[in-house]
Amino acid sequence: MAPSSSHHAYPRSARVNQILREVISEELLRLSDHDERLGFLTVTGVETTADMRQAMVFLDSLDPQVAEALEERRAQIQGSVNAQTRLKRTPKLSFMADPAIASGNAVEGVLRRQHHDDE
């Protein structure tokens, strides 16, 4: 039996996360033209809850000024998500620095110190 055309190779949550990442990235790029605090931000990932009511948006960095700007613009970003997607409900967005970036930076620092000590 051939798989149906509606069958997807990965789960719905992964597709929703990817769509949200793309829409939020584009919206942040547009907003950075009007709010320099949002310049040079990279959305590294999005994780939605199982009920799709909330989404955690992971960013490459999140200093206090950026966090403030994101909170000020959260409703606008969510409105963009709502306008550009066909989700039953728009998840409430929360923003945080991607812990993988911090971990990677820590490992890189250790490796640099080790290399420097070896010389």
The pLDDT assigned to 1 comes to 45
Side-chain-side CA neighbours of 49 within 13 Å: the count stands at 11
The pTM assigned to this predicted structure is 0.78
Q: What is the token pair recorded at 48?
A: 């939605």
Domain limits, the chain = 12-118
Angle between helices 64-84 and 12-32 (to 10 degrees): 120
Note the pLDDT tens digit of each residue in 10-67. 688 899 999 999 999 999 999 999 999 998 899 999 999 989 999 999 999 888 999 9
> Is the pLDDT at 119 greater than 80, yes or no?
no
Q: How far is the first Cα of the chain from the last one, in angstroms, to the nearest whole number? A: 63
Q: Which residue pairs, CB below 8 angstroms and at least 24 apart, start in 70-74?
A: 70/38, 70/95, 71/95, 73/31, 73/35, 73/38
Reply yes or no on whether the pLDDT at 6 is more than 70. no
* Mean pLDDT confidence for 70-79: 95
Fold held by 12-118: GMP Synthetase; Chain A, domain 3 (3.30.300)
